[in-house]
Structure 1
């Protein structure tokens, strides 16, 4: 149905307000109770034809007037910006979300950008979708029916990248009007951004509309992540080059790069992105506990990828059987022995973090000892004694530590902290952590891995794996 023109709506609302017997202050109190966010002075200016209001604010004023008119039988009601009647189809934000869900049902993955754009039009918005590439360096525009030509945007040097780095929304003024960048989130995992431009009857400066854009970005993120599990149409644009079979296997076995509950945030990553051969990680979160694991089988043997995959599968199976650290270790040892016989080992670390009191229990099996970084930036290596790896036939040591609110637990492989430049200079891992400690955990992980990649020219002699967990800070 056609929208009522803003000025015509204002004129009738003002005429109906004159019949309510209310003062401007009384009307403003009713409007404010409905969620209106303009001041009494601005409301008076709107009624006096001095200032315009966004559509959603005009409708809330009309509703406040109508609530009063309902108390006065037989008085003409104020109009909304869209006609009412017996048409119960959803409008506004509900129409956008319902349209997105309906359109995505049984849709092929590559149709989603157009479906998201169509949902945006229900809010009078023009929307484009960008996904982060696997190198975490660029935001890649997804193709759809549009006359506008879009190019990849650098995560480190663009407004879109700034929104992505902070996992939020960012409104900027441009020569063609305001533009909103909203991060696409699957839960807490960042997968890209939405570019949002306003139509003739939308105002991106309206806080309510920005919240609706966040809802749309969140739902779109979930749908895109789900679609990538059953098709390649959205995954292929994210790839800058081909992955080998082992790298493909390891990537498919990785959990989401970020996850969170109210008590902990976990983030991780591996390098080299397209040629990882022997490193993987895993985690699981519950109401009470965070379980973390990292495995490293090296890069020098053809069996490394299969060995580390077997270790990961055995660990997950044992954890889901509710076995403790020693039981998980035994399951990994048994899987390696059964699949490869003697002589194949995998280094790694298993950890259980009690979210109520911060108690950490960890089992070190030849991996790099965990590192705890306090919110005062003090770094503590939990243990520095070398332990036998999984598959060596000797039990690893179980140690304990305690994290305080705000602390960062860091589990990584030697390939990260030992990355070297062409001249042999070692990557300053501890300093890099300290430099990025103020970021959100997924951005810490991204920045540290990017810095290591730049330091060694993306020529890792050993695979780099990183897994971090942060407890909420002190209140």
Structure 2
């Protein structure tokens, strides 16, 4: 490809525009429909030679002019920034979208990083996919075959890690050029980051290009998450240690670790990530209601994982059948008595939040009370609705509370609140929440569980399960 000098391209594009019969406003509307990112005033200034535009924006203007010339004369005359000296390749946002969707169709999961990299070249970008490991400690770079190619990046100390923590983007200046680190999302769940380097004339500070990087990362995250459901290659990369059968069962039964609507953000996590034995959580969100649950069958029996999985299934079945908290509670008690002969109990918390007014209905069966952390860091516990663990004792009397917009609701197992050092020092959940409740809910969850793991030196006597929800107020 031979690059066309910027001023020469601008001059010819302006001459061609003069022959279209369009006003600047009409041209701008066509340009904007193609994904253009500058204002009508800036476009007019560019045509008059009063300001410059990034290469990708100049090419969008040229394309808008050519579309009009084809309508009028049947010919394209406005030049693009590069002249093809061989077969040309489509460029721009639409080409990147087509390349990504077409390339991902029926592709093996491990080939997705190569598909994403190829599609990004239509935006004059060079992209590398990084996936987070299951402990959310490192970001692992992948090549075109879905295997690590470089040294992992630490989430706590790297620019890529900052993008991951903030679920946003971070621009850095490196000896070899600028780098944009953009969060890789499946909906709201953080999968990893994209490392993005620009071509010779692309500008990573261009707001329009940054927007295109965001949708590229969002669509790529969806495709990676979907591919992981039918292949193991990318999932295997994220594992730093083997998982036993019980941990495998519990992880496969979890919902996405993060989800959100306009009214609420929910995030959860489990530790030890590769050896969880008896804890799990679940949630469901509708336009009007959020349902939350956490369960703990302990770590001291080989059947704990099967028991808590059965409890989770009973809870989901009741919830999906439209039963209220009392019906869900009864379903959990019933499965313990009928399938396990009353020989097992499970601790847990069930909650139902009205997303319109913040009214919370909840019951607590053998666990410590849920916590509420306000935007002012004020903390309180919800001490109503208490009963013996599921499978033991009578049903609870449902308790109610009211959240304020911005409040963080925290459900947790005793593996969090009772984690101890080798000297017996107890973990302070309240202090850790005070330090981290202002983060995004998935980052609060990650930081609290990381602190628990550090506190007990990865020696868990109980599984650490955490489920947090921030109510934003009426959508």
Q: What TM-score do the two structures reach when normalised by structure 2?
A: 0.90
**Could you report, residue by residue, the CA deviation over 1:114-155 in whole angstroms, capped at 9, with x for unpaired residues?**
111111112121111100001110001123279x95210000
Q: Counterparts of 1:364 and 1:401 in 2: how far apart (Å)?
A: 13
Hey, what's the Cα distance between the residues in 2 that align with 1:19 and 1:302?
79
What is the Cα deviation at residue 81 of structure 1? Answer: 4.2
Residue 380 of structure 1 aligns to a residue whose secondary structure is: strand
The corresponding residue for 1:255 is 255
Deviation at 1:57, TM superposition (A): 2.3
- Establish whether residue 115 from structure 1 lines up as the match of residue 79 from structure 2: no
Structure 2 counterparts to residues 239-318 of structure 1, below 5 A:
239-318=239-318
Tell me the distance in 2 between the aligned counterparts of 1:365 and 1:375: 28
* Range with greater deviation from structure 2 (363-372 or 271-280): 363-372
Q: Deviations over 1:42-81 (max 9, x none)?
A: 9657754x86421232135446767998999999953344
Output one character per residue of 1:349-374: Cα deviation in whole Å (capped at 9) or x when no partner. Answer: 11100001101001211122111111
Corresponding residue for residue 331 of structure 1: 331
Q: Name the SS for the 2:205 alignment partner.
A: coil
Partner of 2:390: 390
Q: Is residue 467 of structure 2 the alignment partner of residue 463 of structure 1? A: no
CA distance in 1: counterparts of 2:61 and 2:94, whole angstroms? 20
Aligned pairs (5 A) from 1:27-426: 27=24, 31=28, 34=32, 35-37=36-38, 44=45, 47-48=48-49, 52-62=52-62, 78-81=78-81, 91-144=91-144, 149-383=149-383, 387-426=387-426
Of residues 421-430 and 72-81 in structure 1, the stretch that sits farther from structure 2 once superposed is 72-81
Distance 1:100 1:399, change over 3 A: same
- RMSD of the TM alignment (CA)? 3.1
Which stretch has the larger CA shift, 54-63 or 348-357? 54-63
Structure 1 pair 41–387 and aligned structure 2 pair: CA distance change class (3 A): closer
Question: Structure 1: any 5+ residue segments left out of the alignment?
Answer: none
Q: Distance in 2 between matches of 1:77 and 1:120?
A: 27
Q: Tell me the equivalent position of 2:443.
A: 443
Secondary structure at the aligned position of 1:427 is classed as coil
Preserved CA contact (<8 Å) 2:13 2:62: yes
> Is the alpha carbon distance of 1:212 and 1:4 closer, same or farther for their aligned partners in structure 2, counting shifts above 3 Å?
same
What per-residue deviation string (whole Å, max 9, x for no partner) do you get for residues 7-31 of structure 1?
Answer: 5422312444677899xxx858964
Distance change in 2, residues 1:239/1:361 (3 Å): same
Structure 2 Cα separation of the partners of residues 196 and 359 of structure 1: 44
Contact kept? 2:282, 2:293, Cα under 8 Å: yes
Task: Give per-residue Cα distances to partners, 1:201-237, cap 9 Å, x unaligned.
Answer: 4222221111111111111101111111111100111
Structure-1 separation of matches of 2:295 and 2:392: 14
Query: Structure 1 residues 113, 64: closer, same or farther in 2, change over 3 A?
Result: closer
Secondary structure at 1:234's aligned position in 2? helix
1:289 Cα deviation (Å)? 0.4
- Residues 19, 385 of structure 1: alpha-carbon distance in 2 compared, 3 angstrom cutoff: closer
Aligned length: 468
Whole-Å separation in 2 of the counterparts to 1:199 and 1:292: 46
CA distance, structure 2, for counterparts of residue 238 and residue 107 of structure 1: 19
Decide whether aligned partners of structure 1 residues 52 and 457 sit closer, same or farther in structure 2, where only a CA change above 3 A counts.
same
Once residues 68 and 326 of structure 2 are traced to their aligned partners in structure 1, the CA distance between those partners, rounded to angstroms, is 69
Matched residue, 1:430 = 430
* Matched residue SS, 2:390: coil
Q: Is the 8 A contact 2:10 2:46 kept in 1?
A: no
| 1:107 shift after superposition | 1.1
| TM-score normalised over the length of structure 1 | 0.90
Distance verdict in 2 for CA 1:208–1:330, change over 3 Å: same
Aligned mates of 2:92, 2:106 — CA distance in 1: 24
- 1:28 and 1:55, CA in 2 relative to 1: closer, same or farther beyond 3 A? farther
Partner SS state of residue 136, structure 1: coil
Summarize deviations over 1:410-442 as a string: whole Å, max 9, x none. 111111011111111111111111111211110
8 Å contact from structure 1 (residues 28, 40) kept in 2: no
Deviation per CA, 1:87-126, whole angstroms, max 9, x where unpaired? 9996411111121111111111111111111111121211
Contact 1:333 1:393 in 2 (8 A): no
**Per-residue Cα deviation, 1:161-217 (whole angstroms, up to 9, x for no partner):** 000111112222222111111111111000101111112242222211111111111
